[in-house]
Protein backbone atom coordinates (compact mmCIF):
# COMPACT_ATOMS: atom_id res chain seq x y z
CA UNK A 1 0.00 0.00 0.00
CA UNK A 2 1.10 3.56 -0.75
CA UNK A 3 2.56 5.59 2.10
CA UNK A 4 0.74 8.93 2.30
CA UNK A 5 2.65 10.44 5.22
CA UNK A 6 5.92 9.46 6.88
CA UNK A 7 6.91 11.23 10.11
CA UNK A 8 10.38 10.66 11.55
CA UNK A 9 11.61 12.02 14.87
CA UNK A 10 9.56 15.22 14.93
CA UNK A 11 10.37 17.39 17.93
CA UNK A 12 8.95 20.80 18.79
CA UNK A 13 9.36 22.91 21.92
CA UNK A 14 7.82 26.17 23.00
CA UNK A 15 10.25 27.64 25.48
CA UNK A 16 10.72 25.05 28.23
CA UNK A 17 7.66 23.06 27.14
CA UNK A 18 8.33 20.18 24.77
CA UNK A 19 5.07 19.85 22.87
CA UNK A 20 6.19 17.01 20.57
CA UNK A 21 9.09 14.69 21.33
CA UNK A 22 10.81 12.41 18.78
CA UNK A 23 7.52 11.46 17.13
CA UNK A 24 7.49 8.90 14.32
CA UNK A 25 4.60 7.20 12.52
CA UNK A 26 3.30 6.40 9.05
CA UNK A 27 -0.09 6.83 7.43
CA UNK A 28 -1.06 4.46 4.63
CA UNK A 29 -3.47 5.30 1.82
CA UNK A 30 -7.10 4.78 2.81
CA UNK A 31 -6.50 4.73 6.55
CA UNK A 32 -8.50 6.84 8.99
CA UNK A 33 -5.88 7.56 11.65
CA UNK A 34 -6.94 8.97 14.99
CA UNK A 35 -4.28 11.01 16.78
CA UNK A 36 -5.55 10.50 20.30
CA UNK A 37 -4.54 12.03 23.58
CA UNK A 38 -5.69 14.21 26.46
CA UNK A 39 -5.55 17.99 26.22
CA UNK A 40 -1.94 19.13 26.08
CA UNK A 41 -0.64 15.89 24.60
CA UNK A 42 0.66 17.51 21.40
CA UNK A 43 -2.10 16.62 18.94
CA UNK A 44 -2.68 20.09 17.48
CA UNK A 45 1.05 20.83 17.38
CA UNK A 46 1.63 17.59 15.48
CA UNK A 47 -0.97 18.50 12.87
CA UNK A 48 0.45 22.00 12.60
CA UNK A 49 3.91 20.54 11.96
CA UNK A 50 2.86 18.13 9.22
CA UNK A 51 0.91 20.91 7.47
CA UNK A 52 3.84 23.32 7.57
CA UNK A 53 2.03 25.79 9.82
CA UNK A 54 4.66 25.23 12.52
CA UNK A 55 8.33 24.36 12.04
CA UNK A 56 9.98 21.47 13.90
CA UNK A 57 13.12 21.85 15.99
CA UNK A 58 14.29 18.53 14.59
CA UNK A 59 12.99 15.55 12.66
CA UNK A 60 11.25 15.40 9.31
CA UNK A 61 8.06 14.47 7.51
CA UNK A 62 7.23 13.62 3.93
CA UNK A 63 3.94 13.55 2.05
CA UNK A 64 3.28 11.12 -0.80
CA UNK A 65 6.83 9.68 -0.61
CA UNK A 66 8.40 12.85 -1.96
CA UNK A 67 6.75 16.15 -1.17
CA UNK A 68 6.07 18.71 1.47
CA UNK A 69 5.07 22.32 1.17
CA UNK A 70 2.75 23.90 -1.44
CA UNK A 71 2.81 21.00 -3.91
CA UNK A 72 1.74 18.51 -1.26
CA UNK A 73 -0.81 20.89 0.25
CA UNK A 74 -2.73 20.96 -3.02
CA UNK A 75 -3.80 17.39 -2.25
CA UNK A 76 -4.67 18.06 1.41
CA UNK A 77 -7.82 19.54 2.92
CA UNK A 78 -7.27 20.78 6.46
CA UNK A 79 -9.40 21.90 9.37
CA UNK A 80 -7.06 22.90 12.19
CA UNK A 81 -9.10 25.69 13.68
CA UNK A 82 -12.56 26.84 12.63
CA UNK A 83 -11.78 29.09 9.66
CA UNK A 84 -12.89 32.69 9.79
CA UNK A 85 -16.11 33.27 7.91
CA UNK A 86 -17.76 36.63 7.36
CA UNK A 87 -20.92 36.71 9.52
CA UNK A 88 -23.15 38.69 7.14
CA UNK A 89 -22.11 36.95 3.94
CA UNK A 90 -23.99 33.86 2.83
CA UNK A 91 -22.41 30.41 2.71
CA UNK A 92 -21.74 30.43 -1.01
CA UNK A 93 -19.97 33.80 -0.89
CA UNK A 94 -17.88 32.71 2.08
CA UNK A 95 -16.75 29.60 0.20
CA UNK A 96 -15.98 31.74 -2.87
CA UNK A 97 -13.53 33.71 -0.70
CA UNK A 98 -11.91 30.46 0.51
CA UNK A 99 -11.62 29.26 -3.09
CA UNK A 100 -10.00 32.53 -4.17
CA UNK A 101 -7.44 32.36 -1.35
CA UNK A 102 -6.52 28.82 -2.44
CA UNK A 103 -6.36 29.69 -6.10
CA UNK A 104 -9.31 27.44 -6.97
CA UNK A 105 -12.34 28.01 -9.12
CA UNK A 106 -15.92 28.21 -7.90
CA UNK A 107 -17.28 25.13 -9.66
CA UNK A 108 -16.78 22.85 -6.62
CA UNK A 109 -18.77 24.96 -4.17
CA UNK A 110 -22.17 23.41 -4.88
CA UNK A 111 -20.73 19.91 -4.55
CA UNK A 112 -19.21 20.47 -1.12
CA UNK A 113 -22.38 22.15 0.13
CA UNK A 114 -24.29 19.05 -1.00
CA UNK A 115 -21.76 16.77 0.74
CA UNK A 116 -22.21 18.50 4.10
CA UNK A 117 -25.96 18.89 3.71
CA UNK A 118 -26.03 22.67 3.50
CA UNK A 119 -27.09 23.25 -0.11
CA UNK A 120 -30.52 24.46 1.07
CA UNK A 121 -28.78 27.11 3.21
CA UNK A 122 -26.36 28.35 0.54
CA UNK A 123 -27.95 31.82 0.55
CA UNK A 124 -28.22 32.05 4.35
CA UNK A 125 -25.95 34.41 6.24
CA UNK A 126 -23.25 32.66 8.25
CA UNK A 127 -24.43 34.15 11.54
CA UNK A 128 -27.79 32.39 11.21
CA UNK A 129 -26.21 28.91 11.36
CA UNK A 130 -26.23 26.63 14.37
CA UNK A 131 -22.88 25.51 15.80
CA UNK A 132 -23.23 22.15 14.07
CA UNK A 133 -23.93 23.84 10.74
CA UNK A 134 -20.92 26.11 11.19
CA UNK A 135 -18.73 23.07 11.73
CA UNK A 136 -20.18 21.43 8.63
CA UNK A 137 -19.38 24.58 6.64
CA UNK A 138 -15.83 24.40 7.96
CA UNK A 139 -15.68 20.82 6.68
CA UNK A 140 -17.04 22.00 3.33
CA UNK A 141 -14.15 24.47 3.08
CA UNK A 142 -11.68 21.62 3.76
CA UNK A 143 -13.35 19.53 1.04
CA UNK A 144 -13.05 22.21 -1.65
CA UNK A 145 -11.07 20.87 -4.59
CA UNK A 146 -11.79 17.25 -3.60
CA UNK A 147 -8.43 16.63 -1.85
CA UNK A 148 -7.04 13.11 -1.46
CA UNK A 149 -6.25 13.66 2.24
CA UNK A 150 -8.18 15.32 5.06
CA UNK A 151 -6.42 16.56 8.21
CA UNK A 152 -8.96 17.42 10.90
CA UNK A 153 -8.30 18.77 14.38
CA UNK A 154 -11.08 18.05 16.88
CA UNK A 155 -13.82 18.22 14.20
CA UNK A 156 -16.63 17.54 16.71
CA UNK A 157 -15.31 19.74 19.51
CA UNK A 158 -18.05 21.75 21.23
CA UNK A 159 -20.92 20.14 19.33
CA UNK A 160 -24.06 18.67 20.82
CA UNK A 161 -24.85 14.96 20.22
CA UNK A 162 -26.79 15.74 17.03
CA UNK A 163 -23.95 17.85 15.63
CA UNK A 164 -21.40 15.16 16.54
CA UNK A 165 -23.44 12.55 14.69
CA UNK A 166 -23.74 14.79 11.61
CA UNK A 167 -20.00 15.47 11.39
CA UNK A 168 -19.17 11.82 12.11
CA UNK A 169 -21.33 10.64 9.19
CA UNK A 170 -19.64 13.10 6.83
CA UNK A 171 -16.21 11.80 7.85
CA UNK A 172 -17.30 8.17 7.48
CA UNK A 173 -18.68 8.81 4.00
CA UNK A 174 -15.43 10.50 2.93
CA UNK A 175 -13.55 7.47 4.20
CA UNK A 176 -15.83 5.13 2.25
CA UNK A 177 -14.90 7.13 -0.87
CA UNK A 178 -11.26 6.17 -0.31
CA UNK A 179 -9.90 9.34 1.21
CA UNK A 180 -7.08 9.15 3.73
CA UNK A 181 -8.02 10.95 6.94
CA UNK A 182 -5.92 12.07 9.89
CA UNK A 183 -8.13 13.10 12.77
CA UNK A 184 -6.98 14.49 16.11
CA UNK A 185 -9.35 14.07 19.02
CA UNK A 186 -9.58 13.60 22.76
CA UNK A 187 -13.06 12.02 22.44
CA UNK A 188 -12.33 8.31 22.60
CA UNK A 189 -15.81 7.22 21.60
CA UNK A 190 -15.57 9.15 18.33
CA UNK A 191 -12.16 7.70 17.49
CA UNK A 192 -13.49 4.21 18.17
CA UNK A 193 -16.46 4.76 15.84
CA UNK A 194 -14.66 6.47 12.96
CA UNK A 195 -10.99 5.48 12.86
CA UNK A 196 -9.28 2.38 11.51
CA UNK A 197 -5.97 3.15 13.22
CA UNK A 198 -4.83 5.16 16.20
CA UNK A 199 -1.69 6.93 17.41
CA UNK A 200 -1.86 7.66 21.14
CA UNK A 201 0.12 10.61 22.50
CA UNK A 202 1.01 11.62 26.03
CA UNK A 203 3.06 14.71 26.83
CA UNK A 204 4.14 14.88 23.21
CA UNK A 205 5.38 11.30 23.04
CA UNK A 206 3.88 8.37 21.17
CA UNK A 207 2.96 5.70 23.72
CA UNK A 208 1.03 3.36 21.44
CA UNK A 209 0.07 2.85 17.82
CA UNK A 210 -2.01 0.26 16.04
CA UNK A 211 -5.31 -0.70 14.51
CA UNK A 212 -8.31 0.13 16.66
CA UNK A 213 -9.73 -3.40 16.38
CA UNK A 214 -6.40 -4.89 17.47
CA UNK A 215 -6.21 -2.65 20.52
CA UNK A 216 -9.74 -3.73 21.40
CA UNK A 217 -9.08 -7.44 20.94
CA UNK A 218 -6.33 -7.96 23.50
CA UNK A 219 -8.70 -8.72 26.38
CA UNK A 220 -12.40 -8.97 27.05
CA UNK A 221 -14.30 -8.10 30.17
CA UNK A 222 -17.09 -10.11 31.74
CA UNK A 223 -19.31 -9.86 34.78
CA UNK A 224 -19.99 -13.15 36.55
CA UNK A 225 -22.04 -14.12 39.60
CA UNK A 226 -23.07 -17.25 41.45
CA UNK A 227 -25.02 -18.20 44.55
CA UNK A 228 -21.78 -18.72 46.48
CA UNK A 229 -19.75 -15.64 45.59
CA UNK A 230 -16.83 -16.52 47.88
CA UNK A 231 -16.41 -19.90 46.23
CA UNK A 232 -16.66 -18.29 42.79
CA UNK A 233 -13.98 -15.74 43.64
CA UNK A 234 -11.60 -18.35 45.02
CA UNK A 235 -12.09 -20.54 41.97
CA UNK A 236 -11.52 -17.68 39.49
CA UNK A 237 -8.22 -16.84 41.22
CA UNK A 238 -6.84 -20.22 40.16
CA UNK A 239 -7.44 -19.75 36.42
CA UNK A 240 -4.25 -18.60 34.66
CA UNK A 241 -6.12 -16.68 31.93
CA UNK A 242 -8.54 -14.85 34.23
CA UNK A 243 -7.79 -11.66 36.17
CA UNK A 244 -10.23 -10.32 38.74
CA UNK A 245 -10.76 -6.58 38.16
CA UNK A 246 -13.45 -5.76 40.70
CA UNK A 247 -15.44 -7.62 43.36
CA UNK A 248 -18.90 -6.43 44.39
CA UNK A 249 -21.68 -7.99 46.44
CA UNK A 250 -23.66 -9.18 43.42
CA UNK A 251 -20.99 -9.77 40.72
CA UNK A 252 -17.29 -10.10 39.99
CA UNK A 253 -15.79 -8.26 37.03
CA UNK A 254 -13.04 -10.19 35.31
CA UNK A 255 -10.79 -9.84 32.27
CA UNK A 256 -10.10 -12.80 30.00
CA UNK A 257 -6.84 -13.23 28.15
CA UNK A 258 -7.11 -13.50 24.37
CA UNK A 259 -8.11 -17.04 23.34
CA UNK A 260 -10.34 -17.77 26.34
CA UNK A 261 -14.06 -17.52 25.57
CA UNK A 262 -16.86 -17.05 28.06
CA UNK A 263 -18.29 -20.41 26.95
CA UNK A 264 -15.02 -22.16 27.83
CA UNK A 265 -14.91 -20.33 31.16
CA UNK A 266 -18.46 -21.44 31.95
CA UNK A 267 -17.60 -25.07 31.21
CA UNK A 268 -14.49 -24.85 33.38
CA UNK A 269 -16.48 -23.42 36.30
CA UNK A 270 -19.06 -26.22 36.01
CA UNK A 271 -16.24 -28.76 36.15
CA UNK A 272 -15.08 -27.08 39.36
CA UNK A 273 -18.57 -27.38 40.83
CA UNK A 274 -19.50 -23.72 40.44
CA UNK A 275 -22.90 -23.06 38.89
CA UNK A 276 -23.03 -19.45 37.72
CA UNK A 277 -26.22 -17.42 37.64
CA UNK A 278 -24.90 -14.58 35.43
CA UNK A 279 -22.14 -14.32 32.83
CA UNK A 280 -22.23 -11.12 30.78
CA UNK A 281 -19.67 -10.31 28.09
CA UNK A 282 -18.32 -6.78 27.64
CA UNK A 283 -15.96 -5.85 24.83
CA UNK A 284 -13.10 -3.86 26.25
CA UNK A 285 -13.51 -0.27 25.12
CA UNK A 286 -10.89 1.99 23.62
CA UNK A 287 -11.43 4.22 26.63
CA UNK A 288 -10.35 1.52 29.07
CA UNK A 289 -7.32 0.67 26.91
CA UNK A 290 -6.41 4.34 26.63
CA UNK A 291 -6.69 5.00 30.36
CA UNK A 292 -4.52 1.97 31.11
CA UNK A 293 -1.86 3.12 28.64
CA UNK A 294 -1.79 6.67 29.98
CA UNK A 295 -1.71 5.47 33.57
CA UNK A 296 1.01 2.89 33.05
CA UNK A 297 3.31 4.85 30.74
CA UNK A 298 6.26 6.30 32.67
CA UNK A 299 6.65 9.69 30.96
CA UNK A 300 4.80 11.68 33.62
CA UNK A 301 5.93 15.31 33.71
What digits encode the pLDDT tens for the residues 283-297? 555 566 666 655 655
Please write the tens of the pLDDT for every residue from 38-55. 888 899 999 999 998 899
Map residue 27 onto helix, strand or coil: strand
67 pLDDT more than 80: no
Distance CA 26, CA 72 (A): 16
Res 301: pLDDT: 44
Res 189: pLDDT: 76
Please write the tens of the pLDDT for every residue from 192-237. 889 999 998 988 999 888 888 776 555 667 889 998 899 999 999 9
Name the CATH architecture for the domain at 219-283: 2-Layer Sandwich (3.30)
Tell me the average pLDDT of the chain.
Answer: 86
- 161-192: b or e for each residue (b if 16 or more CB lie within 10 Å)? eebbebbbebbeebbeeebbbbbbbbbbebbb
Res 300: pLDDT: 45
Percent of the chain past pLDDT 70, that is, above it, reads 89
Res 40: pLDDT: 85
Please write the tens of the pLDDT for every residue from 118-127. 999 999 999 9
Ordered by start, the domain boundaries in the chain are 3-215, 219-283
Distance CA 47, CA 76 (A): 12
Res 260: pLDDT: 81
For the domain covering 3-215, report its CATH number.
3.40.50.300
Please write the tens of the pLDDT for every residue from 85-137. 999 999 999 999 999 988 888 999 999 999 999 999 999 999 999 888 998 99
Amino acid sequence: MKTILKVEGLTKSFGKIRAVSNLSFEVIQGQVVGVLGPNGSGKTTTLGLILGIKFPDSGSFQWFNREKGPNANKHIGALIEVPYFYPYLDLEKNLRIVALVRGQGFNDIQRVLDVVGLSNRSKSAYYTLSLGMKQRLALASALLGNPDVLVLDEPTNGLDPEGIAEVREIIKKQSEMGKTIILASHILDEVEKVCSDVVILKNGEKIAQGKVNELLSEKVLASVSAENMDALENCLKTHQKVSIQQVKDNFIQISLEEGLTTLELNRWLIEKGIIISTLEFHKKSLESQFLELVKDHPNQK
